[in-house]
Structure formats: structure tokens, C-alpha cells
């Protein structure tokens, strides 16, 4: 019994020392006062982020319009800081409960605030699933074509179900 307690106490002490060491190391790395090197002009940057949907019928709570008001500023700051040539989004959609299918608060807000960008993988929501738009810098990228497909047995059917096991 005493030996078991000693073993568990020893393990706990080692674990706490390990956590403390990692914490000190992370703090030391984060407090370096050297600036981040600028991105070379010849670099081509691609980024992706899940922005999560917005529930148009909800004014408060998670993923509500009120929550969107709280997170839209930080999203724009991150978008600008990353400064990617191509930026793919997931779950960039505004649900209206069967109405307002073309409303996309996040997409429209970011495009309005960032005029040097355009959206691809985007179109009329009745025929084109515009919930995963891809933004691109218009001074570096030219859109030649766009399309979509679903990972399903019917890839050309909008919002079709996943592949079935065969």
C-alpha cells in the first residue's frame, strides 16, 4: 500500500514537472522579440478555416446572429493577417430555416471589407452549393471556371448523401 502510494506520488511529481517544463518552454518561445520574417513576394499562400454557420433565426446563443456580431471582427483580422492568395472556407453559411438561401452574412461581410478579393465555388444556392466558398486575390489569381461535386453515389446532385458501403 505504501509502495503503491509512493509510485503514484512519484508519477504525479514527474507529470507536474513535465507540465511545468513545457509551460516554461512555450512561454520562452512566445516571448521572443524577433519579428516574423516577411513573406517573399514570389510566395503563393493557400489557407483554410472553418468559420461555422450562422443561424439567422437566432439572435442569441451559439452560432446566432448575435454570436456572428462578436466573431466577425476577429475573422476579418485573421483573414487579413494570413494574407493568403487563396483562402478556402468551410461552413460559411447562414441558415434561414428554408428561407433566404442566398443570404451569406460571413461571405458578404468579408468580401465587402476586402475589395481585392473575389469568391469562387459560389453561385445561386438553388443550383450551386455556395456554403464552402473559396476566396482569391484578384491581383494574383484569375478564375477560369468553377464547379462542385459531392462525395456520394450521385456526386452531381446537390447535397446528396455520403457514399454507401458496397
Query: What global pTM score does this model have?
Result: 0.71
Predicted local distance difference test score (pLDDT) of residue 27: 47
How, if at all, do strands 54-55 and 94-95 pair?
parallel
Write the pLDDT tens digit of every residue in 85-128. Answer: 999 999 998 887 655 568 899 999 999 999 999 999 888 777 77
Domain count, the chain: 1
Asked if pLDDT for residue 29 goes beyond 50, the answer is no
* Range with the poorest average pLDDT among 11-15, 36-40, 50-54, 149-153: 11-15
Residue 118 within any structural domain of the chain: yes
Residue 26 within any structural domain of the chain: no
Residue 91 within any structural domain of the chain: yes
Residue 92 within any structural domain of the chain: yes
Asked if pLDDT for residue 35 goes beyond 90, the answer is no
Cell of 117: 478579393
Residue 60 within any structural domain of the chain: yes
Domain carrying residue 91: 46-137
Residue 129 within any structural domain of the chain: yes
Residue 34: CB atoms within 10 Å: 5
Residue 112 within any structural domain of the chain: yes
The radius of gyration of the chain from alpha carbons, rounded to an integer in Å, stands at 23
Residue 148 within any structural domain of the chain: no
Sheet with 86-90, side-by-side order of all strands: 46-50, 86-90, 134-137, 117-120
Amino acid at each position: 500500500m505504501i509502495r503503491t502510494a509512493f509510485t503514484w506520488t512519484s508519477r504525479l511529481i514527474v507529470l507536474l514537472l513535465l507540465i511545468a517544463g513545457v509551460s516554461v518552454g512555450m512561454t520562452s518561445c512566445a516571448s521572443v522579440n524577433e519579428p516574423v520574417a516577411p513573406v517573399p513576394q514570389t510566395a503563393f499562400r493557400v489557407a483554410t478555416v472553418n468559420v461555422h454557420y450562422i443561424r439567422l433565426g437566432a439572435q442569441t446563443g451559439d452560432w446566432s446572429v448575435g454570436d456572428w456580431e462578436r466573431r466577425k471582427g476577429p475573422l476579418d483580422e485573421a483573414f487579413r493577417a494570413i494574407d493568403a492568395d487563396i483562402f478556402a472556407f468551410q461552413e460559411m453559411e447562414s441558415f434561414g430555416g428554408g428561407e433566404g438561401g442566398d443570404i451569406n452574412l460571413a461571405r458578404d461581410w468579408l468580401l465587402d471589407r476586402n475589395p481585392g478579393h473575389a469568391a469562387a465555388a459560389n453561385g445561386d444556392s438553388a443550383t450551386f452549393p455556395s456554403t464552402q466558398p473559396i476566396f482569391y486575390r484578384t491581383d494574383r489569381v484569375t478564375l477560369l471556371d468553377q464547379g462542385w461535386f459531392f462525395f456520394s453515389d450521385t456526386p452531381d446532385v446537390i447535397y446528396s448523401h455520403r457514399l454507401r458501403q458496397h
